[in-house]
Amino acid sequence: MCQKDYNIKAKKFKHIIYEERLLIEHLYNKQKKSYKEIGEELGKHRTTIYREIKRGLVEIRNSDWSTKEVYDAEKAQRTSERNSESKGPGIKIGKEHKLADYIVKKIVKEKYSPEVISNQIKEDERWGIKLSYKTIYNYIDKGILLLDRKDLTYGKYKKKKVEKKTDKASRRKLKNGRMISDRPKEVERREELGHWEMDLVEGKKKTGGKVLLVLSERSSRREIIELLANKTQESVIKALDRIERRIGVVRFREEFKTITTDNGSEFLNYKGIESSYTGSKKARTKQYFANAYSSWQRGTNENINKMIRRFLPKGMSFKNLTQKEVKRIENWINNYPRKMFGFKSSNEVYKERMKIKNILYNK
């Protein structure tokens, strides 16, 4: 049966009718049309077609005993009739396809979380509704939005098990370094600017490959990311030297009061990390080592690293990565609205707290 034999004036009907389901079955199973193409044929939005096909999917077995999923108009019709009998209140998003597209764009392209999107919808008068972040999650899980949890920044991930081990070799190397237990108590409170966590983000495992040095400010969650040629102590120290040159020796000491790291070999040269590139006897910062297998002691690093992985997933090679691309990611993180700050960005919080600090100290 050719496509032109299905001449249905869909606009007369509020919901998809059985004849339209037969057409969808033909276009999807036989002609392999996309959701958008089928939607254009029926005068429906692609998200409507996506939900409809999802409702009518069945698994069939091929002659070679392999299986495949196809759309079954009969099943979709039965499901629709059953749902109509027990239908409750309509969903908030209703026919707002523009709003649905807005949410999908924010999640997929701009990598915003449902909480941030919920706040922006509430403050944007053009939508005229309030949509909680839990509702957005429900829409994703139910297939109302054309995406799934894996598209979210923190969609699905497994927490690593904390290994109860002791690294005696690292302990011996750290015997002259400061441990996290020696760190000033005010660092824990996150009230004072100038206390950072430092870590490395690696690409595809390869000896001598590029890595990212990430510095996360504990109070404002502001991020600095530097592209390193390799995972060595020398590269880490050179990156800190670059930052010190960029912002100035005095300002570096003021803004980098402490740096907390894990006890990886790249961070063990605490003297090099603490020493100014100028050769001054006055330390530029104080480094503290977290306990072995205690990533929670650098929670800011861990959370921001997940944001970086949205752009640079694990297993991706950093071979062709440029400093310009790295700074684009850094800028996105620092301007991302954060619920913990009343949906202000880290840059905004950092500037506000710096302003208060300067007033208090008459600078």
How is the chain split into domains, by residue range?
3-85, 97-151, 168-360
In one-letter notation, the amino acid at residue 92 is K
Name the CATH topology of 3-85: Arc Repressor Mutant, subunit A (1.10.10)
What is the CA 187 to chain-centroid distance, rounded?
26
Q: Which of 104, 246, 261, 234 is nearest to 178 (CA)?
A: 261
Please, are residues 140 and 148 in contact by the beta-carbon 8 Å criterion?
Answer: yes
Share of the chain above pLDDT 90, in %: 47
Question: Is residue 201 predicted with pLDDT exceeding 60?
Answer: yes
Residue 287 three-state SS: strand
Q: Which SS3 state, helix, strand or coil, does residue 59 take?
A: strand
What CATH number was assigned to the domain covering residues 168-360?
A: 3.30.420.10
What tokens appear for 180 in the block?
Answer: 């996290």
Judge whether residue 355 has pLDDT over 60: yes
- How do beta strands 223-228 and 258-261 pair? unpaired
Strand 286-289 to 223-228 pairing: unpaired
What was the pLDDT predicted at 361? 59
Tell me the average pLDDT of the chain.
84
One fold for 3-85 and 168-360? no
> Are 264 and 200 contacting, i.e. CB atoms less than 8 angstroms apart?
yes
Q: Poorest-confidence range of 161-170, 257-266, 307-316?
A: 161-170
pTM for the full predicted model: 0.63
Structure tokens at 249: 């020796």
**Short-list 65, 214, 209, 154, CA closest to 339:** 154
